[in-house]
Amino acid sequence: MSTATTPVGKAGEYLDDRTGGATLLKHNLRKVFPDHWSFMLGEIALYSFIILLLSGTFLTFFYKPSMVEVIYNGSYVPLNGVKMSEAYASTLDISFDIRGGLLMRQIHHWAALIFVAAISVHLFRIFFTGAFRKPREFNWLIGVGLLTLAILEGFSGYSLPDDLLSGTGLRIAEGIVLAIPVVGTYLSFFLFGGEFPGQDFIPRLYSVHILLIPGAILAAITAHLIMVVYHKHTQYPGPGRTENNVVGYPLLPVYMAKAGGFFFVVFGIIVLLSAVATINPVWLFGPYTPSQITAGSQPDWYIGFLDGMLRIFPAWETTAFGHTISWNILFPALILPGIMFTLLGLYPFIEAWVTGDKREHHLLDRPRNQATRTALGVMAITFYIILWIAGANDIIATAFDLSINAMIRASQIGVILLPPIAYVITKRICLGLQRRDRDRLLHGRETGLIRRLPSGEYIEVHAPISDEERVTLLQAGAKKDEVFALPESTDDNGVPAPGGLVQGVRARLSRWYFSETIPDPTPDELHEAAHHAQELAENQQAQLEAGKPS
């Protein structure tokens, strides 16, 4: 039964008759999204991925995933007559003989770099604000999976042009596969269709790069976003914001216009970047050959930490019973990243186990209020950054005229020494900020006005903070100091409960996690402080009055 009169209404009815979409959309079109700049980081990642799909599809029309040797005969004169793989030759064609081809290649590469960077910074935001807590632990896991996939996808794409730099990267990857005990040699032969480099790898990598991993990423992003919609977005504490509501703009129209507009902004900026900033000029590197290398070989930024670890790990190798284990490769390239990503993925579960917190959380933490978590995060980032710097140690050594050996030694020591120092410093800073928040709640803000009382005493005038600030501070702090009582380790008769040792460790970890937290002022304390402040003010006023010349 048609009731619509406008063309749009008629089209809507046509669609709804067949899909029943109106019921679904009426609930979701006015969905509320809170506004905060830090919520745009994940959006940047999402938009970069869309840009990658668009630009990548264009590139597949012209790129030839083949390692068959050809003689180049194209517009780029310096390489004319040079033997190279068809993959490299077609990359040169895209760069020089197809209008807009170079632009698309650069868009694709810049978007890839920004994709991984946005995921990483988005992850920091989620971590430091505690957005991974119940009920969002699975979404954290999906996110860690996406980060891993993004790095693999980036590396596989970086390797496709078959230029000297990316081929060297593949050579290193092959060396790493060879280091896997027992099966490494076989794996390498299966991956490369025989010996390195062979003729099979680039075509195989191509289907992985354009089908397998992007498909997995797309599926994971879909699940990630469905969960965001289902859970409703987290929000920062503030007046009117509680664990039981979400305050923000409706999807239609404001959020759609802002987020949609932001997609165009991200896209536009990446295109402008690709217009003016050269990225990965493969024509300068030449075709891959296993006998050549350029000094200062650097991978894309997200591989840097792996390369750094590979550089600074000691030269340990064991040979026993006719077999070799290369710890110098196995540990930095496989075991360590395995540990890093496993810990990253499990963190929400570890923290919940330590704190015993089983509540749902929708209000975000201010990082300072979770001093231990924040310090752990900064510790991990410090560790990562030192590895990352180590990955560029030759560039740094050349640029700053340092000894490469000293650089490596410094990284080796720094990677062990600096993370714990970062932990301690961060924790101190957080506790200091907690104290400041407490002071502001109890004594108000410092106005900077100094007054001299008739008694000769100098005082600084404090002014009460705004209600908005007070509610924000109290709400943000309300979650930080609840040390959860763990089950009694012994029963009434002093018999240790089963699992006592594990629970004991848990209790100790829990105490450590919450140690030194500055308690929020209790309502009584707030009341008393307000009362005291009022008295003080009256007292001072009286003194001033009394001291006035009559």
Partner 1 sequence: MSDSHEAAALVPAEHNGHPGTGSDLESIAPGLPAHRLRLTDTDARAAQRAERQVAILFGLSALATIGFVVAFFAFPESETTITIIPGLFEPSESNLFLGLTLGLAILFVGIGAIHWAKKLMVDEEVVDVRHPARSPDADRAEFETILAGGVQESGIADRSIIRRTLIGALALLPIPAVLLLRDLGPLPGKKLEETIISENIRIVIDGTQRPLRPEDIPVGGLVNAVPENLEEVEELEGTLNARAKATLMLIRLRPEEIISQQGDDWSVQGILCFSKVCTHVGCPLGLYEQRSHHMLCPCHQSTFDLADGAKVLFGPAARPLPQLPIKLDSEGYIVAQSDFTEPVGPSFWERG
Q: Which of residues 474-533 bind partner 1 (CB under 8 A)?
A: 474-475, 478, 522-524, 526-527, 529-531
Q: Any idea what DSSP says for residue 494?
A: S
Which pairing describes strands 458-463 and 445-452: parallel, antiparallel, or unpaired? antiparallel
User: Would you say 285 or 423 has its CB closer to partner 1?
Assistant: 285
Cβ(192)–Cβ(177) under 8 Å?
A: no
CB of 432 to partner 1, least distance (A): 24
Quick one: tokens of 446? 């410092």
Contacts (CB under 8 A) with partner 1, residues 264-293? 264-276, 278, 288-293
Contacts (CB under 8 A) with partner 1, residues 320-359? 322-326, 328-329, 332
Q: Which residues pair with 320 in a beta bridge?
A: 323
User: Would you say 171 or 489 has its CB closer to partner 1?
Assistant: 171
User: Would you say 18 or 323 has its CB closer to partner 1?
Assistant: 323
CA 347/CA 358 separation, integer angstroms: 15
User: Would you say 186 or 484 has its CB closer to partner 1?
Assistant: 186
Quick one: tokens of 285? 């590197």
How many of the other CB atoms lie within 10 Å of CB of 511?
12
CA 344/CA 358 separation, integer angstroms: 20
CB of 400 to partner 1, least distance (A): 16
Cβ(204)–Cβ(191) under 8 Å?
A: yes
Contacts (CB under 8 A) with partner 1, residues 352-411? 360, 362, 393-394, 404-405, 408
In Å, how far are 45, 152, 209, 341 from 149, measured between CA atoms?
A: 13, 5, 10, 12
Q: Any idea what DSSP says for residue 484?
A: P
Q: Which residues pair with 459 in a beta bridge?
A: 451
Contacts (CB under 8 A) with partner 1, residues 174-233? 174-176, 178-186, 188-200, 230-232
* Using rule CB under 8 A, residue 260 touches partner 1: yes
Angle at which helix 523-547 crosses helix 404-443, to 10 degrees, equals 70
CA 199/CA 70 separation, integer angstroms: 13
Cβ(221)–Cβ(49) under 8 Å?
A: yes
User: Would you say 411 or 426 has its CB closer to partner 1?
Assistant: 411
The correct pick among 50, 70, 103, 208 for binding partner 1 (CB under 8 A) is 103
User: Would you say 247 or 509 has its CB closer to partner 1?
Assistant: 247
Contacts (CB under 8 A) with partner 1, residues 126-165? 134-135
CB of 509 to partner 1, least distance (A): 26
User: Would you say 468 or 491 has its CB closer to partner 1?
Assistant: 468
User: Would you say 169 or 377 has its CB closer to partner 1?
Assistant: 169
CA 288/CA 174 separation, integer angstroms: 15
Contacts (CB under 8 A) with partner 1, residues 35-94? 35, 67-69, 75-77
CB of 166 to partner 1, least distance (A): 13
Q: Which residues pair with 85 in a beta bridge?
A: 69
Residue type at position 475: Q
CB of 456 to partner 1, least distance (A): 30
The correct pick among 216, 247, 336, 429 for binding partner 1 (CB under 8 A) is 247
SS3 69: strand
Residue type at position 99: R
The correct pick among 438, 440, 443, 470 for binding partner 1 (CB under 8 A) is 470
User: Would you say 60 or 245 has its CB closer to partner 1?
Assistant: 245
CB of 173 to partner 1, least distance (A): 8
The correct pick among 124, 262, 384, 513 for binding partner 1 (CB under 8 A) is 262
